[in-house]
Structure 1
């Protein structure tokens, strides 16, 4: 059996942690990496003939200037070969390059301030302003926001039960990324009026009406490429860095929630994460918070020095 033959069957049979078939977008991503980066070199080799030396030679020539894609490709290959070990087709996984499946993002994540969230919402098209607020203050993912319908939201809460992904130019609606992604998120009171206004001005009366359709009054979800275009254009008119993206609003909201005193369990539930370790990826120290901590340390030091002077 060649690696290509085995990997093709792996894609067909692979299941998520919840036992569901791979999401359309996930399968498409794996297929793209395999076809463009793995198959040209390793596809026609016998599965049992793959060795650490062969894998190392392939890895050294693969996407040297694109570390994130390189790490993702290696991680997919390693996962497929781990399954081959479990299936008894290999005695040991030949992917043994330490750290090859991890990468540091080329663009550091930016945590926006509350004022910058307001600024960004003011510069996107009016019918998308609520999407920005929900991304930041309810910590929703892109696909969750673009699949929201009137029946999912009130000024008090947002019920997340679905998300939309795209493949071959078509939307595919399915459950959130994990079972924990099905959740009800309480709406912060300061954006309640924005929800009421959006429902009145930009959403049809039916419970199934999309909040953010591709066209006003339409029944088709907005393509994420189009959504990103509007967001990027708006970012350029704000004080945010040009690299700012929608997912960083989620980072922003979870970081602010943590600074407000939320526990890991509370953040995990609100974000729809299946494990606490995933939540930790979204916690970022901000300059303002770091300055507040530094000032607090100085106050402690000053108080201790004063106490020493007075002998107390």
Structure 2
């Protein structure tokens, strides 16, 4: 009889009469791990053992009771998928997993998920919105796809359940009068970010593009702004070793529930290998836009040009050469910027609105001024035109003419900036 090699599996009977079959499972770190099958019937135990051996030979690694949805998503986001996506995408994934997936099915064993569990997750997320349920479904399906590739699952249960439908909310832009009123109030009140709000409304730039704008990319002589960088909050991780059981790290930082990776002297950025960034302060860094269309030259409308000329003389430290910053030179975080935007709206007695409404407002104002669609799309940095409609390249002069039309529409007083 041939001698059984390691991994072939063993079969034995306990005193209780229960037959137990065991196979050693390969692990990445070489540690020993076994999977067992049991039956009171010897023939059934042999059948289960043979199936287990085949699974291991085919690369299917049996899941243990400890492999829950929560544990797999943590591993998936940390070591498999997290480094393949942009920091902002990862932050969105983490929030969706924490708020909508884990509370509903996080404690479920990975290989025991059923369509009913997925629908239960939908129901939980839909208490917030249809979009939340849709995002939870997409992320779960991607994570389970990777579990199949890793040999942990044979099928993707999420793929057998219809993705929730979602109707996007219509974001109403500010009217021309509201935009003018907001800027006038900000200037009258001496809001230090008045030029920031003017740039948002007149350029249609994204939040990160303006928060990361540096003076060496503002050409006041030629009236152009180069939007090829953006400020992002980028996740960091400890680089000092493995976390201790008490929640601390070898560097001495951290406690249960709080990692404080930014304080680790050997911290590292959790980004894709080809991701370019320039650290500024804490977790805030300058990054490149995700598409070629995202980086663009935009002409400066005359009222904004005057406001920037005045703003350039602002006193205070500026080690990063940022256009808008704290007095000590630190970049303004996206969260604080959002809070200050809401304060500006409230000061103008306008209803609360997300900052992205400013981009919608620019698009609406440009359309109202009669600017052609392909010029509008180039100004706003959209890729849909080039990808789907085949419009020709728009040069800077056409964009400049469009911005002049915007000046006329808003009827801003060049002498006062409002």
Q: TM-score normalized by structure 2?
A: 0.55
* Residues 113 and 157 in structure 2, CA contact (< 8 A), matched pair in contact too: no
Matches within 5 A, 1:210-221: 210-215=322-327, 218-221=328-331
Return the offset for 1:153. 1.0
C-alpha separation in 2, matches of 1:251 and 1:202? 32
Matches within 5 A, 1:23-62: 23-62=86-125
Structure 1 residues 278 and 47 mapped into 2: Cα distance closer, same or farther (>3 Å)?
farther
Return the offset for 1:152. 1.4
Offset from partner CA, 1:80-123 (integer Å, 9 cap, x none):
33555677844455245545163433xx5221233322322233
DSSP 3-state at the match of 2:359: helix
Q: Does 1:118 align with 2:167?
A: no
Of 154, 158, 175, which residue of structure 1 is paired with 2:225? 158
- For residue 130 of structure 1, what is the aligned residue in structure 2? 195
- For residue 292 of structure 1, what is the aligned residue in structure 2? none
- For residue 192 of structure 1, what is the aligned residue in structure 2? 305
Structure in which a larger fraction of residues adopt helix: 1
Of 102, 108, 112, which residue of structure 1 is paired with 2:166? 102
Structure 1 residues 265 and 67 mapped into 2: Cα distance closer, same or farther (>3 Å)?
same
C-alpha separation in 2, matches of 1:250 and 1:152? 20
- For residue 174 of structure 1, what is the aligned residue in structure 2? 287
Structure in which a larger fraction of residues adopt strand: 2
Offset from partner CA, 1:126-152 (integer Å, 9 cap, x none):
321111111111111111111111111
Return the offset for 1:250. 0.6
C-alpha separation in 2, matches of 1:31 and 1:260? 41
Larger Rg: 2
* Residues 4 and 39 in structure 1, CA contact (< 8 A), matched pair in contact too: yes
Structure 1 residues 171 and 61 mapped into 2: Cα distance closer, same or farther (>3 Å)?
same
Identify the structure with bigger relative contact order (alpha carbons < 8 Å, sequence gap 6+). Answer: 1
Offset from partner CA, 1:179-237 (integer Å, 9 cap, x none):
4211111222342212212213468788x41111122xx32111223222222122123
- For residue 353 of structure 2, what is the aligned residue in structure 1? 244
* Residues 123 and 133 in structure 2, CA contact (< 8 A), matched pair in contact too: no
Q: Does 1:69 align with 2:132?
A: yes
Q: TM-score normalized by structure 1?
A: 0.72
C-alpha separation in 2, matches of 1:202 and 1:76? 46
* Residues 24 and 172 in structure 1, CA contact (< 8 A), matched pair in contact too: no
* Residues 127 and 202 in structure 1, CA contact (< 8 A), matched pair in contact too: no
* Residues 100 and 132 in structure 2, CA contact (< 8 A), matched pair in contact too: no
